[in-house]
Structure 1
Amino acid sequence: MAKFLLVLLVFGFIISHVVSIRSLNRDVIEMKEEHEKWMVKHGRVYKDEDEKEHRMEIFKNNLKLIELFNAGDHKFKLGVNQFADLTNEEFKTIYNGFKPSLKKIKEVATESSSFRYENVSVTPVSLDWRMKGAVTAVKDQSQCGCCWAFSAVAAMEGITKLSTGKLISLSEQELVDCDTAGEDEGCNGGFMDNAFEFIIKNKGLTTELNYPYKGTDGKCNTKQSAIHAASITGFEDVPSNNEAALLKAVTNQPASVAIDASGYAFQFYSGGVFTGYCGTDLDHGVTAVGYGITSDGTKYWLVKNSWGSSWGEKGYIRMERDVDAEQGLCGIAMQASYPIA
C-alpha cells in the first residue's frame, strides 16, 4: 500500500511538472505572438534574432508593468504603445530632448521680465485652443530629441492663427537644421526660448511643406529658410512656479512648457488625467493648448505632445492642474513661455 501511494505521489509530481512546463511554453508562445503582432502594427524590424529576443523580453516586462498598474485605482491608464520594446532609460534618452538654459534659470531667479497677461482677471472654467482652430494636427518627432522645436513651433502656430486668422503648419526641421548658434543642438536637445530668439533673428519661419521634417540632423537649407510663412516680434517667459500665471497665459494663447516626462507612467500613458509620480528635472518640451475640469472635479492642463497620435489621448495628455507643489505637476509651471506676434 505504501509503495502504491509513493507511486501515485511521484506520478502526480511528474504530471504537475509536465503541466507547468506546458503552461510556461504556452505563455512564451503567446508572448511571442503578442510581440509579433505589435511589431507588425508599429513596423518594427530588428537586425537579428538576438536583438528580437532581447526586445521581446523588454516587451514582456513592460506588459507586466502596465497590467499591474492598471489593476490599481488611478485617474489614468497605461497602454501598450510604440514604446513597448524600450526600457525607460532608452525611452528617455531617445525622446526627451529639452535642455534647461542656465541663463534662463538665472533670469527666472530675478523675475525681472515682463508678463503681459499679469492683469488678466477673467479666465473661463475650461478652454481648448483646438476648438478655436489654433492647433495643427499632432506631429511625430520620431527618434530625434527635438521636442523643443515642436513645442516652440506649436506655440508659434497658435499665435499666428490668432494674429492673422490663418492656421499654418510650420517647419520644425528648419529649427533642427538652422538654429545651431546657441545651446540648441537639433536632435541632441534644445530650449524653446532659444528657438524663439532664432525665429526673430531669422525674421520668420517657413512652412512644414516647404521644409519637411526628416527626424535627423541636417545642413541648414538657407534658401528654403528664407521663405518666411510666419513671424514673431518677441516672446515672454511666464512667471516661474506660478500655475495661476500660466493659466492667464494659456487663456490667451497656446504656450510652450517644459516637463519632467522621464517616468514609465509617462512612457505608457494612454488616457485619463495624469496624476502620476514625476519630479521636476525638466527633460521634455510640449505645448499647453488648454485646460479644463473633469466631472469629478479634477482640474487639468490639456497638453499637446510630439510622439504621434498613437500615444496618449490621440497625441495629447491631460495633466493634473493646481497641485500642491508650486512648480506644478512634473514642473509644468517652471519654465513656460510664449511668442508674441
Structure 2
Amino acid sequence: MWRLVIIFSIFCISAINSDSSESEIITDEGFENFKKANNKNYARVYDEIRSYKAYEENQKVVEEHNKRFQSGECSFRLATNTLADMNTDSYLKGYLRLLKSQRQPNSTEENAADIVGSPLMSNLPESLDWRTKGFVTEPQNQQSCGSCYAFSIAQSIEGQVFKRTGRILSLSVQQIVDCSVSFGNQGCTGGSLRNTLRYLQSTGGIMRSKDYKYTARKGRCQFVRELAVVNVTSWAILPPNDENAIQAAVTHIGPVAVSINATPKTFQLYSDGVYDDPACSSDTVNHAMLVIGYGKDYWILKNWWGEKWGERGYMKLRKGRNLCGVANYAAYAVV
C-alpha cells in the first residue's frame, strides 16, 4: 500500500510541474502578445512549451543583436517576428527546402543569359526598384510547404509580364508544386530553380493563381492547358558569382530568381536594414527568393514568409561580396 501511495505522490508532483509549465506560458505577456499578433495556435501543450522555449532563446538573440545595432556595430535589426517560436532545427526543416539543381548532361535546353557580355552590362542605373514602377505584389506565405522554388520562378515571370504589359498577373505556384515532380522537384519537400524552369518550358504554360489556388501542400496535378496564360519559351542561367550580371538582368529583363543561404539565426529573425552578417556563407544555398531591385550597396529581395517577416516580406542584402551566395545561382524564364 505504501508503494502505491509513493507512486501516486510522484504522479501528482509530475502533474503539478506539468501544469506549472503550462501556466507559465499562459501568463507570459510577451509570448501571449506574440501568439495573438501572429495568430499562433498549438495543437498540444508540449508544442506550446517547445515553442515558448524557442521564443525565449530567440528573444535573447534579438535583444543582444539590437544592442549592437544601436551602437552602430551592424546595419540591420532583428525582431521576434513570425518565425521567432521556432528553434534552429524546426526552422531549417520547415522552411529551407531548396534542392541542389542538377545540370542535364549534354543539355542544349539552357543558355547563358544574352545579357552577359553585351553593351547592356554597362551604364546601369545606380539604383532600381520595380515596386516604384508599379510591380507591387501581395505578401506571400509559403507556410509549412517548402515551395520557395515555385514562388521565386512564378513571380519572376510575373515581373516580366508586368514589364511588357504594365499589368500584374498572379500566377499559380500550386501548379508548380503539384505538377513538376517528374522533372525532379519534390512538392512541399523541396525543389530547384532549374527543375522548375525545365518543367514550365516543357508543359506548355502556367495558369493563374485564382484558377489553381495555393494550398501549401502537395496534391494531384490539375493543370489545364487551355487555362494557361503565360508560355515559357526558354530560360537562362546567369554566370555564377557575377553580381553585375544580376544587376543588368534586373534592369533590362525584370525581377530575377536567386538561390540563397538562409541558415543563420539572424536571417530567420531579420527585421529591417541592410543584412550583412559575415557568418552568412556563400558555400551553400537552401532557399529561393526574388531580386526585385537594388540600391548602391544592397539588393532588394522578396521572400515568402508573410508580411510580418522582414520589411513587410522584403529584405535588403549587402551587395558586392556574394553574401549568402546570392549570385551562386540566378535565373529567369523567357516569356
Give the TM bin, normalised by the shorter chain.
Answer: 0.7 to 0.9
**Structure-2 residue corresponding to 1:7:** none
The percentage of aligned residue pairs carrying the same residue is: 31
Specify which of 284, 292, 295 is matched with residue 292 of structure 1: 295
Change beyond 3 A, Cα 1:117–1:52 = same
Q: CA deviation at 1:54?
A: 2.3
Which one has a bigger Cα radius of gyration?
Answer: 1
**Structure-2 residue corresponding to 1:19:** none
**Structure-1 residue corresponding to 2:323:** 329
**Structure-2 residue corresponding to 1:306:** 304
Q: Tell me, yes or no, if structure 1 residue 319 matches structure 2 residue 313.
A: no
Change beyond 3 A, Cα 1:91–1:31 = farther
- Which deviations, in whole Å up to 9, do the C-alpha atoms of 1:42-77 show, x marking residues without a partner? 222222333322221111111011101111121000
The residue identity in structure 1 corresponding to 2:308 is S
- 46-55 or 91-100: bigger deviation: 46-55
Supply the distance in 2 between the matched residues of 1:169 and 1:59 (Cα, whole angstroms): 34
**Structure-2 residue corresponding to 1:12:** none
Change beyond 3 A, Cα 1:50–1:29 = closer
C-alpha contact (below 8 Å) 1:135/1:154 kept by paired residues: no
Supply the distance in 2 between the matched residues of 1:31 and 1:57 (Cα, whole angstroms): 14
**Structure-2 residue corresponding to 1:71:** 67
After TM superposition, list the pairs within 5 Å mapping 1:111-126 onto structure 2. Answer: 113-118=111-116, 119=118, 120=120, 121-126=122-127
Q: SS state of the match for residue 309, structure 1?
A: coil
**Structure-2 residue corresponding to 1:246:** 246
C-alpha contact (below 8 Å) 1:241/1:334 kept by paired residues: yes
C-alpha contact (below 8 Å) 1:76/1:275 kept by paired residues: yes
Q: Tell me, yes or no, if structure 1 residue 143 matches structure 2 residue 144.
A: yes
- Structure 1 residue runs without a partner (length 5+): 1-27, 294-298
The residue identity in structure 2 corresponding to 1:247 is Q
Supply the distance in 1 between the matched residues of 2:268 and 2:298 (Cα, whole angstroms): 19
**Structure-2 residue corresponding to 1:204:** 205
**Structure-1 residue corresponding to 2:80:** 80
Q: CA deviation at 1:29?
A: 7.7
Supply the distance in 2 between the matched residues of 1:146 and 1:309 (Cα, whole angstroms): 17
Specify which of 253, 277, 280 is matched with residue 278 of structure 1: 280
**Structure-2 residue corresponding to 1:99:** 99
**Structure-2 residue corresponding to 1:49:** 45
**Structure-2 residue corresponding to 1:23:** none
Supply the distance in 2 between the matched residues of 1:331 and 1:161 (Cα, whole angstroms): 27
Supply the distance in 2 between the matched residues of 1:243 and 1:115 (Cα, whole angstroms): 13
Supply the distance in 2 between the matched residues of 1:226 and 1:290 (Cα, whole angstroms): 33
Supply the distance in 2 between the matched residues of 1:194 and 1:230 (Cα, whole angstroms): 18
After TM superposition, list the pairs within 5 Å mapping 1:3-14 onto structure 2. Answer: none
- 29-38 or 330-339: bigger deviation: 29-38
Q: What is the RMSD computed on CA atoms of the aligned residues? A: 2.1
After TM superposition, list the pairs within 5 Å mapping 1:219-230 onto structure 2. Answer: 219-223=220-224, 226-230=226-230
Supply the distance in 1 between the matched residues of 2:76 and 2:234 (Cα, whole angstroms): 37
C-alpha contact (below 8 Å) 2:292/2:302 kept by paired residues: yes
Supply the distance in 2 between the matched residues of 1:29 and 1:99 (Cα, whole angstroms): 37
**Structure-2 residue corresponding to 1:266:** 267
Q: CA deviation at 1:193?
A: 2.2
Change beyond 3 A, Cα 1:76–1:107 = farther
C-alpha contact (below 8 Å) 1:135/1:157 kept by paired residues: no
Change beyond 3 A, Cα 1:306–1:107 = farther
The residue identity in structure 2 corresponding to 1:261 is A
Change beyond 3 A, Cα 1:65–1:228 = same
Q: SS state of the match for residue 67, structure 1?
A: helix
Q: SS state of the match for residue 90, structure 1?
A: helix
Q: SS state of the match for residue 319, structure 1?
A: strand
- TM-score normalised to the size of structure 1? 0.84
Supply the distance in 2 between the matched residues of 1:29 and 1:189 (Cα, whole angstroms): 33
Q: CA deviation at 1:150?
A: 0.3
Q: CA deviation at 1:135?
A: 4.4
- 146-155 or 227-236: bigger deviation: 227-236
- TM-score normalised to the size of structure 2? 0.85
| Equivalent residue pairs, number | 301
- Which deviations, in whole Å up to 9, do the C-alpha atoms of 1:157-201 show, x marking residues without a partner? 011122333210101001001111121111111111221221222
After TM superposition, list the pairs within 5 Å mapping 1:143-222 onto structure 2. Answer: 143-222=144-223
Supply the distance in 1 between the matched residues of 2:183 and 2:26 (Cα, whole angstroms): 50
**Structure-1 residue corresponding to 2:5:** none
- Structure 2 residue runs without a partner (length 5+): 1-23
**Structure-1 residue corresponding to 2:13:** none
- Which deviations, in whole Å up to 9, do the C-alpha atoms of 1:193-248 show, x marking residues without a partner? 2212212222211111111111011111133x541122221110001111111111
Q: CA deviation at 1:269?
A: 0.2
Supply the distance in 2 between the matched residues of 1:50 and 1:114 (Cα, whole angstroms): 51
